[in-house]
Chain A
Amino acid sequence: MTESTMLVRRPGAMLRRRRTEAAGWMFVSPALLLFLVFIAGPFAFAIVLALFKWDLLTDPQFIGFDNFAALFADPVLPQVLGNTFVFALASVVTHIVFGLLLAIAVNRVVSRTLNYFLRVAIFFPFLISWAAVSLLWKYVLDPTFGYVAQYGAVVGIDTPNFFTDPAWALPAIIVIDLWHTLGFTFIIMLAGLQTVPTELLEAARTDGANAWQTFWRVTLPLMSPTLFFATIITFIGAFQIFEPIQIITQGGPNDATKTIVMYLYERGFQAFDMGYAAAVAILVFVIVMGVTLLQFIGRRKWVHEA
């Protein structure tokens, strides 16, 4: 029955409709109010804040787009953006490749004990807080305490001083991130693998396809929606990497690990230059949005849509 016939036929319909409307708003309004106060409001406020100079002590001062002008002229920005993109790209590639290969490899392990052990070993680090992970790995890679350097010495490899050597600090953070977050990608890939029908794999095999051909022609295309989703989620997360950097290197040595969110934290919550920090945050927002949009535009080229 359409709304108009309801209005004509029943005298009480109008009232009932209004009541339904009111009930809907009543259920939604607590969350909506919180949303306006803690998300939408702050979002709008951050954009306005970027037009001001404010150290939280003296009065805010309107300076127009000066924060953005200063940001794009900031000598640290190219390095910071470069670090962030290098980290994000390395993170996406290593997670997707290792996550996919591990999911396929573990999926074929016959021994129940080994299979269970591998799933737990790969997934569990993901549940540990970044704080604990960062502190632990700070010691794992420590040149005197850490077992990596000690075993390196045994085999005759002089391991670098990972966190004080500008060439090694960012790669070290990439490895730590891989250890911590691989379990997430792994689980997503396992879930994706379950969507590949076993019949198709068997059909390919009876048709004489070898493992390599089956992987490229059947598994990979059927998993492309999962790969697409994992790529987006991993990129968005990696672009905003913060914890291990703040805890282990504080952006050093020589800004070698300073990423955009670490820089934002420095400007906003250590230097208390709130307007400038808001401008940095807006830049993060624009880049994340832009890259995600590009990925969606490019998806028709490679994502298999059933």
Chain B
Amino acid sequence: MTLDLETGRPTASTPGPDLLTRIDRAPRRHRRTSTGSIVLDVALAVFGVVMIAPLVWLIVTSLTDPSAAFPTPPSWLPIPFSLQNFADVFDYMPFGQQFGNSVLLAVICTAGSLFFSVLAAYGFARVEFRGSRGLLVFMLSALMVPAQLVIIPVFIMMRELGLVDTLAALWLPALVNVFQIFFLTQYFRSIPRELDEAATIDGAGHLWILFRMLVPLSGPALSALAILSFEASWNGYFGPLIFLSSPENMTLPLGLVVLQNGFGAAPAAVVFAAITLVVLPVLIVFLLFQKQFVSSIASTGLKG
């Protein structure tokens, strides 16, 4: 997303260049390796090592035998190697169940919000009924409203409905995502309207045009939004903290915190193993799909 300089509003754009893997364009053509650039490279490498040090420490500690955890001076190799901490995770927290809750929540939030956003974006971009512009601006103004303001009444509402301590309290409000609607509306508008007209002449209805034509043509936009939505719900903490109270109903981020400072808190090495179990899949998926992750951020400008 970039900012439209006239209105100051964000404007949707096609996903940006692949910033993580495409590096051939960047450096100067005549590359001279001066002393200065070598010093800078070394400084950057050290910085990179410092950035990943917490993660290396996390994984190494979780793979070390609990009796040898946290040695002085710190160890950066898992000696003696042991998977005991990982086995212990399952004794201290309902990890499998919380993992399932996290997956279920993220899938419902992602699929549900995209479905409703696609429908609404079609209405705004292609049908343009009377008052549609005003309505879109009205909905967009909600982007300025902090989540904490809305969550208080939503909490009261969920309490009345008896949905506190259920995943529904989290996914129901997540079905509507104003940013997605706006982004997709802009994206649909960038697709030539002549396509719709040609399809209409061939007898296609709105639903055919939307799901057989516009949606397949919006692959990059939809996958960028899906990644962001999945990541936001997978990592969410504020909502689960407020709505969920039973360990078996919690999602992983909340489960981790409870594991660490809740009743019958687990030893640090077990907490490390649990964090590793949460971070590792994200790391693997990221290394496989870095291109999509980075372009989703670069193109939408959204914070996860």
Binding site for B on A (CB under 8 A): 20-21, 23-28, 30-32, 34-35, 38-43, 45-46, 49, 56, 102, 105-112, 114-132, 134-140, 144-145, 147, 150-151, 154, 179, 181, 184, 187-188, 190-191, 194, 225, 228-229, 233, 237, 240, 242-243, 246-247, 261, 264-265, 268-269, 274, 277-278, 281-282, 284-285, 288-289, 292, 296, 299, 303, 305-306
Contact = CB atoms under 8 A, between A and B. Distances in A.
Contacts of B173: 34, 38-39
B204 interface: no
A109 B21 CA distance: 13
Contacts of A264: 148
B124 interface: yes
Interface stretch (B49-57, B81-89, B189-197, B217-225): B49-57
B73 A107 contact: no
Interface in B102-160: 116-117, 119-120, 122-124, 127-130, 132, 135, 139, 142, 144-157, 159
Interface in B1-36: 2-3, 5, 8, 10, 16-17, 19-21, 23, 25-28, 31, 33
B19 A268 contact: no
Which one of B21, B132, B145 has the greatest number of beta carbons of chain A within 10 Å? Answer: B145
Nearest to B21: A116
Interchain residue pairs A-B with the least CB separation, the first 10 = A24-B129, A27-B123, A131-B253, A24-B127, A129-B235, A42-B153, A34-B176, A31-B120, A28-B123, A281-B149
Measured as residues with beta carbon below 8 angstroms from the partner, the interface class of chain B is 35 or more
A134 B283 CA distance: 17
Contacts of B146: 240, 281, 284-285, 288
B8 A296 contact: yes
B19 A190 contact: yes
25 contacts: A20-B129, A23-B127, A23-B206, A24-B128, A25-B129, A30-B119, A39-B173, A40-B142, A42-B157, A109-B44, A127-B235, A127-B304, A128-B235, A129-B278, A131-B256, A131-B257, A132-B279, A147-B74, A184-B297, A188-B301, A191-B19, A225-B2, A246-B241, A269-B242, A281-B146
Contact of B44 (A114, A139, A242): A114
Contacts of A284: 146, 148-149
B256 A132 contact: yes
Interface string B144-186: 1111111111111101000000000000110110100100000
Nearest to A191: B298
Contact of A112 (B23, B45, B145, B241): B23
B74 A151 contact: yes
Which one of A34, A45, A282 has the greatest number of beta carbons of chain B within 10 Å? Answer: A34
B154 A38 contact: yes
A159 to B, nearest CB: 13
B231 interface: yes
B237 A56 contact: no
Chain B: interface secondary structure? Answer: helix
A277 B150 CA distance: 11
A261 B26 CA distance: 41
A274 B123 contact: no
B293 interface: yes
A46 B152 contact: yes
Interface of B: 2-3, 5, 8, 10, 16-17, 19-21, 23, 25-28, 31, 33, 37, 40-41, 44-45, 47-49, 51-55, 57-58, 70, 72-74, 116-117, 119-120, 122-124, 127-130, 132, 135, 139, 142, 144-157, 159, 172-173, 175-176, 178, 181, 206, 231, 234-238, 241-242, 252-254, 256-257, 260, 268, 271-272, 275, 278-279, 282-283, 286-287, 290, 293-294, 297-298, 301, 303-304
Nearest to A45: B153
Contacts, number: 278
B293 A127 contact: yes
Contacts of B268: 139, 145
Contacts of A191: 16-17, 19, 298
A258 to B, nearest CB: 15
Given A45-B153, A127-B231, A284-B149, A27 B119 contact: yes
Given A140-B57, A305-B5, A105 B129 contact: no
A131 B237 contact: yes
Contacts of A32: 120, 135, 139
A23 B130 CA distance: 11
A233 B253 contact: no
B235 A136 contact: no
B149 A187 contact: no
B127 A281 contact: no
Which one of B37, B253, B286 has the greatest number of beta carbons of chain A within 10 Å? Answer: B253
Which one of B119, B153, B238, B279 has the greatest number of beta carbons of chain A within 10 Å? Answer: B153
Given A21-B129, A108-B26, A135-B257, A229 B3 contact: yes
A225 B11 CA distance: 13
